[in-house]
Amino acid sequence: MSDTLPELRDGESQLEFDPLERVDAQLRFIGRIHTPWQRGDCPKNVTRARESGQGASITLEPGFAEGLTGLSLGDGILLFYWMHQARRDLITQRPRHKPEAQGTFALRSPNRPNPISLAAVRITSLDLAAGRIGIDAIDCFDGTPLLDIKPSAPAVDVPPVQP
């Protein structure tokens, strides 16, 4: 976590322990996401990023490019990425657009014990040899570490409609 954490908002609370002291798994970043966004100008979600008209790209680390085999221009993919500049100690949060605090797991905030984010994006360019993918939009800072890529399967990825 950062040494200079922002002040807690009314209704927010921190965990009573450091989540990093309870490590259960190891992860390997497979690449980096390149965006026009920095702290202060990043859209709050991928819909807002799309509205900006600014695309983004992914560069895979050496050795991972072959994993793109089977993907094509125009395909939908799911990106799992690590919000490396997010707080990890908040268990309740009060977003500016909500009147009251809510539990971290009831929000899509990047601030969470494991700052993993997910975006459904579309491939706009693909260079298999270089391990580079152009995508339509994303809501993360330039240089954000990429954890995984999965093909989008709309029939599987959408929760069932409640009866």
Query: Has residue 1 got a pLDDT over 50?
Result: no
What is the separation of C-alpha 2 from the centre of its chain, rounded to a whole number of angstroms? 18
Tokens encoding 50? 């799309």
Average confidence (pLDDT) over 62-76:
96
For residue 56 the two structure tokens come to 């983004």
Token digits of residue 84:
């490396």
Statement: residue 2 has pLDDT above 70: no
User: How far, in whole angstroms, is CA 37 from its chain's centroid?
Assistant: 13
Query: How many of the other CB atoms lie within 10 Å of CB of 154?
Result: 8
Alpha helices in 5-162 (DSSP H): 46-52, 154-157
Contact 123, 74 (CB under 8 A): yes
Q: What is the mean pLDDT of the chain?
A: 92
Q: How confident is the model at residue 161 (pLDDT cuts 50, 70, 90)?
A: confident
- The model's confidence at residue 118, banded by pLDDT at 50, 70 and 90, is very high
More confident: 135 or 12: 135
Per-residue pLDDT, 162: 81
pLDDT at 74: 97
**Three-state SS for 57?**
strand
Starting at the edge strand that comes first in sequence, how are the strands of the sheet with 90-93 ordered? 13-14, 90-93, 102-103
Domain ranges of the chain: 25-154
The whole-number pLDDT of residue 22 equals 83
- Whether the CB-CB separation of 34 and 146 falls below 8 Å is answered with no
- CATH architecture observed for domain 25-154: Beta Barrel (2.40)
The stretch 93-102 carries a mean pLDDT of: 89
What per-residue confidence (pLDDT) applies to 3?
Answer: 61
Q: What is the pLDDT of residues 75-97, one digit of tens each?
A: 999 999 999 999 999 999 998 88
pLDDT tens digits for range 5-50: 788 988 889 888 888 788 888 899 999 999 999 988 999 889 999 9
Owner of token pair 């221009």: 73
